Amino acid sequence: MDINIIRGVILLVLVFSFLGLWAWAWSSKRKSAFHDASMLPLEEDKGVIPNDIDPTDETRSTGEGVSHVN
């Protein structure tokens, strides 16, 4: 066997692996799981995503009630 045949086989394995991973990631079955994972940084301590944030809430802009110190 020539080294170039081995390189070609490795290249084909990597290309098909990439295409398989790409198809898995973009399949419609995975959409809800990836959406749930994307919302993890927004969750509160109780595991709920706050949807009712009032942009006119004065306590958010003044930092009132913040328990940490910079």
Q: State residue 13's pLDDT score.
A: 98
16-70 pLDDT, tens digit each: 999 999 999 888 888 888 888 888 887 776 666 666 555 555 555 555 555 555 5
Q: Where are the domains of the chain?
A: 1-40
The predicted structure's pLDDT at residue 12: 98
Whether residue 7 is predicted with pLDDT greater than 90 in this model: the reply is yes
d(CA 49, CA 47): 7
Say what the pTM is. Answer: 0.49
DSSP structure string for 5-64? HHHHHHHHHHHHHHHHHHHHHTSGGGHHHHHHHHTGGG--TTS-------TT-HHHHHTT
- Fill in the DSSP letter of residue 65: T
Question: Residue 40 burial by CB count (10 A; 0-12/13-18/19+): exposed, middle or buried?
Answer: exposed
Per-residue pLDDT of 36-47, as tens digits, reads 888 888 777 666
